[in-house]
Structure 1
């Protein structure tokens, strides 16, 4: 009998949920059950978090690979080929991931096993799934979305298009960093160094382009050029969404890229205050025609993901339980997908967050802006390692 992945996971989670509930009821009379296990900005109604899952200390929990893997569409094959190209280019190395150790050779085996499965769905991949402990140590990983925007730009500045997009400087501060966002955008720290790649008409659009990591700029003559990730200034990333929640400006249940952008547009007098709260700044490089991730391979919409390489090595293949949202951005279900760890980002730190690539343009923008919900993530590795 073939058991679906959803049936497998549901039956497994039910038993764990009951155990966690019993433990919680017992400890309630002693210490009370803490619900403050995630950042308060993510603690909104219907956020997709499984609060009853069994809590654990280990970063990875080894589980049998359930039968009935989610079969991807044809575009996944392109992404898998890019994955293989990346792994073949980098040198053999070992990744020490807390209690788990893996290697480039292991990741190549996973890629080959998935390729064999795609060619022959009756083939059972000889793999094991290692669940990531998540933000709350219960396996709940926040899954946000990112995309590649298309932004109107000019080669030279004028009265409207006066906000520059920069390539990476060569001169650093004494502490090894580059100037902060406030110094660059509001105090002209990079002016006159010849680092400008293009000029836009919106500092807000520039900010979100920094958050996305790459984007397409379109000049007045219709020419389009892709700007890719070109490095960061070395300052710590801080979410301005969290800042706006903490200041009581946007309710946590309403926070999204769209609501943040609208707030900034409606409060021009506070743009410097809020934007500067995130001192991290991203620089760009002029890249090829397709968006490139940190693994230096083209990204595949709905299959590429940005991860923290200290938790999930670049070149890994993931099994993920991702949120399904309705047109209003409300969670209606989860679905299983295979994802390719091909990118990283300044906001993606630790085992509690991955960023799911949605594609290019406004449709991708809409879907990326709505995603902020929890799901679950498994790192796939060769079974014979056990």
Structure 2
């Protein structure tokens, strides 16, 4: 009897303790029962599916240590036409110099999920530079020494290249379509100016009769010729469509009549919005979606000269250039490197960042794709590069037209930051 009483008391104590603990425990609701407000930015998926970028805000998540090592082993530097990791050295040094021009404590990336200073970005590049001699034999060191931040949505990757275009430094014969330098009346807003600037006016404006106005559009420059006769021409092209696409690419290599080469380098923009020519022609029902290759677009425009200028002028954006003897430059002011340089949105992937990715390149028509498990460097930007989007620099020369314009897919993307840099 006595033992029974003791047992019952013990049982009662256990029950009371269980009730107490259950009251303190966190309640876990099933996802299906959780309600979200209309303004909630709920993340819908951790992976890109069905060839599209997942909806929702772009978000970074750090890979586990073992996953970082495995991902590092999968990188094949030879797939980027490099013979050794050490071949990346000069390009990494260029990015180090760019990062060093920014204050070490300044924010290179300021997001809810990831914040990085320019000092941390530079330290990451320096640590990668020191690792290069060891990575050919021990690629897993890239996983041990760096945290791999996965962009959960993936990113849409496209390709670009530097075309070689027939040109002359003087207006002669068939060379009659001008490349303009930055006009002296093109202005940009300065920090502290009190005018209620729109985003476009901050990028480019003019003052006329005391009024602040948007700068001249492509229509005004190409059709109305408002810049003609002002000694702003720096070169002349044979083909107006080549000129338009040089604006899209942000530069080009000029092949002069005497065989010399010069480079047209981006030096400014009118600040107006970019609109793709393919989208313009698709919206008007001129071409269907299967015909939107550059070759088909150019063929249509040259065979319809009465419509060509009107169609091209619907892209208000206009680019100005300077002519140099050097290589094509990225937004960091440094030469681009084939199969390494990337154009990114600095709000998501800052200039100078180390980026791992996987994609497929179609080298020529009729040939199978080639897998690239690569490590790239964010060294360029572009008007159309916004959010989860990468533009991969394929190379200089017209032979890169096909692979550049047949690259469009969602790819896995990782931002690599040195573990030592994050301890700062």
Q: 2:281: which partner in 1?
A: 244
Q: Secondary structure at the match of 2:141?
A: coil
Corresponding residue for 1:219?
256
CA distance in 2, matches of 1:52, 1:90: 35
TM superposition shift of 1:291: 1.2
Aligned to 1:101: 115
Higher gyration radius (CA): 2
Determine the structure 2 residue equivalent to 1:68.
73
Kindly state the Cα deviation for residue 381 of structure 1 after the two structures are TM-superposed. Answer: 1.7
Partner Cα distance (1:70, 1:253) in 2: 33
1:239 deviates by 1.2
| 2:97 is equivalent to residue 80 of structure 1 | no
For the pair 1:314 / 2:351, whether they are aligned, the reply is yes
Instruction: For residue 412 of structure 2, give the secondary structure of its aligned residue in structure 1.
Output: strand
> Once the 2 structures are TM-superposed, how far is the Cα of residue 51 of structure 1 from its aligned partner?
5.1
**More displaced 10-residue stretch of structure 1: 252-261 or 308-317:** 252-261
Task: Give the whole-Å Cα distance in 2 for the aligned partners of 1:216 and 1:336.
Answer: 29
Aligned-pair CA distance for 1:109: 2.4
Residues 162 and 54 of structure 1: CA distance in aligned 2, closer, same or farther (over 3 Å): closer
Deviations 1:230-269 (A, max 9, x none): 1111001111111222223333244232332223223222
**Deviation of residue 203 (structure 1)?**
1.1
Residue 334 of structure 1 contacts residue 375 of structure 1 at CA under 8 Å; is this kept in 2?
no
CA distance, structure 2, for counterparts of residue 325 and residue 128 of structure 1: 31
- Distance in 1 (CA, whole Å) between partners of 2:100 and 2:231 is 37
Q: Is structure 2 residue 55 aligned with structure 1 residue 59?
A: no
The answer to whether structure 1 residue 112 and structure 2 residue 126 are counterparts is yes
Cα shift readout 1:323-379 (whole Å, capped 9, x = no counterpart): 23363389857532111111111221222x211111111112222122222222222
1:128-277 equivalences under 5 Å are 128-133=147-152, 138-139=153-154, 141-172=155-186, 173-174=206-207, 175=212, 177-277=214-314
Once the 2 structures are TM-superposed, how far is the Cα of residue 179 of structure 1 from its aligned partner? 0.9
Give yes or no for contact 2:169–2:234 (8 Å, CA) kept in 1: yes
* SS of residue in 2 equivalent to 1:261: helix
Please provide the CA RMSD for this pair: 2.8
Residue 58 (structure 1) shift: 4.6
Distance 1:176 1:82, change over 3 A: farther
Q: 2:361, 2:403 within 8 Å by CA — same for their partners in 1? A: no
Q: Paired residue for 2:146?
A: 127
When normalised by structure 2's length, the TM-score is 0.72
State the TM-score, normalizing by the size of structure 1: 0.79
SS of the equivalent of 1:208 reads helix
SS of structure 2 residue aligned to 1:327: coil
Deviation, 1:205, is 0.7
Name stretches of at least 5 consecutive residues in structure 2 with no aligned partner: 1-30, 33-43, 187-205
Measure the CA separation in 2 of the matches of 1:331 and 1:243: 31
CA gap 1:235/1:169 in 2 versus in 1, 3 angstroms: same
- What is the rounded CA distance, in whole Å, between the counterparts of 1:157 and 1:338 in structure 2? 43
For 1:187-241, what per-residue CA distance to the aligned partner results, in whole angstroms no more than 9, with x for missing partners? 1011122110011111111011111111111222222211111111100111111
Equivalent residue number for residue 5 of structure 1: none
Counterparts of 1:342-361 in structure 2, within 5 Å, are 342-351=379-388, 353-361=389-397
Greater Cα offset, 73-82 or 367-376: 73-82
Q: Verify the 8 A CA contact 1:329 1:371 in the aligned structure 2.
A: no
Deviations, residues 159-204 of structure 1 (Å, cap 9, x unaligned) = 5211100111121424464211111111101112211001111111
